Structure formats: structure tokens, C-alpha cells
Amino acid sequence: MQGEAAQDRRVVAVEGADGLTFLQGMVTNDVLSLGKGPGLVWAALLTPQGKYLADFLIARLADGTLLLDLPEGLADATLRRLSMYRLRADVRLVPSPLQVQRGLGDAPAGALPDPRHPALGWRAYTESAGSAPAIDWDAIRVAHVIPEAGRELVVDDSYILEAGFERLHGVDFRKGCYVGQEVTARMKHKTELKKGLVRVRIAGDAPFGADITAQDGKVAGTLFTRAGDRAIAHLRLDRATGTMQAGAAQVWLDDTTG
């Protein structure tokens, strides 16, 4: 069984005896579980101030190969950042010839379930690029409020808890320190989130990135990916009431399920 080509992804092999422990000290999630066998972990790389720099999937294949599955647009900057912290660790980040395939339904041998949400299906790392994309992945992301790099996730601006990383299994609060951990933990334990990504209903036309204004005329947030009459938006929750406006469109919080 062949999956769709996952466009705009880059696969990098993590070689060296210190690969897992190095990543453990860098990213938001616990990757040491991959030492037990094949799997996928979703994690983010943050600034010391706790802001988003990149997110990626870390894969361990059945043969023990450790891979980074990176968004192409952030790959160079991410690899530079990781290399900067490598110091004397026995870690090498090496371009991989493998391609990312993804799909829904029955998974082929060696494929791994996407850890973010069951609706995202599976991912496989193969020498074949896969078939042309046909699945409406944006509709799936909107239905389950799953952010994507370069869209809902903005470099040096987004906070991962506002972006739903806890709900989507992208952060572990029991692991040790990582860059940006202190700010993230403080947001989790000492404050109540007042902003975040939510799903909205939308009627009318509005461009990606449009301001969403509340009934009092104040900016309440930003409109992101749209699929049909629903979209992902980043909103100030205290202003997200009643009918809001984005461009020529009317916007409401969507309180229906998936």
C-alpha cells in the first residue's frame, strides 16, 4: 500500500550515540521513549523566552534509524539551531534519502501512527515519494484544530500552549529541562490561558491572516486556515463572543464537535 507524498517536508537522519539524549535536552517532548522501539514523537523547538521556533516529528524506525521529519520552510534554520547546541555531543545531522508518505485507513508495514491526532492517520518513511496528494488535510486540521508551521504557528511569536500542543501530545511536563521550558511550565501552572487557537464558523469572504474584530470593534484575534464554513482562528477568549467580523465575513465560535 502506498501513501500520499507529504509535500514540503525534509527528512534528516540523527546519527551518533548521543542522538536521543541530545534531542531530549532541546525539545518540548519526551523522546527517550523512542529508545524502547519504533515510534513517532511530535515536539517543538523554542526560544529561551518560550516562543515557537519550529515543530517537527522525531521518528525511530524498526531498524533503529532515528529521523527528523521537518517542515521544509523551517528546516535550514532548525538544523542550524540544533547544530549550535551540539557542542561535544556525539550527534550528526545527516541528509536522508527517505521520503515522507502519509495516509488514512489501513497502514502499510513499517508505517507509524501520527501522534498528534488519530484523524491524521499514519506516516511512513520510504525511498518512494508516494502518490499525488488527494486528501484534504486542511479540512482535517481545521476540524480538529491542528496547527501547521508557517500558518497557525508563527516563528518567534506563537506560544505552544496557546497552539494546543498539550492537547495534541506535543509537550511533556514531566521531562527534564529544555530550551524555553521555564516559561512554558509557568504558563501551564501559574496562569490561565486567555488566548488560543479555536475553531470558528465563518460566512462570507475573508483573507488568510485577517483581523477578527469583536462586537465592540476591538481586535479579538486572527483568522487562519479555512475549510468550507469552518476555520482555525487565534482569539482572545474574553472577546470571542457573539458575532465577530473578519474582512467581509461574519465569524462565530464553533461549539460543535469534530
Domains of the chain with CATH codes: 4-144 (3.30.70.1400), 195-253 (no CATH)
Residues 215 and 222: their CA atoms lie apart, in Å, by: 15
Residues 251 and 249: their CA atoms lie apart, in Å, by: 6
Contact between 126 and 35 under an 8 Å Cβ cutoff? The reply is: no
Q: pLDDT tens-digit profile of 169-208?
A: 999 999 989 999 999 999 998 778 899 999 999 999 999 9
pLDDT at position 257 is 53
Across the range 212-221, mean pLDDT stands at 96
Cell digits of residue 47: 526560544
Cell digits of residue 13: 537522519
CA dihedral sign of residues 197, 223, 240, 230: negative
Q: pLDDT tens-digit profile of 45-76?
A: 999 999 999 999 999 999 999 999 999 999 99
Listed residue (59, 67, 77) closest to 14, CA to CA: 67
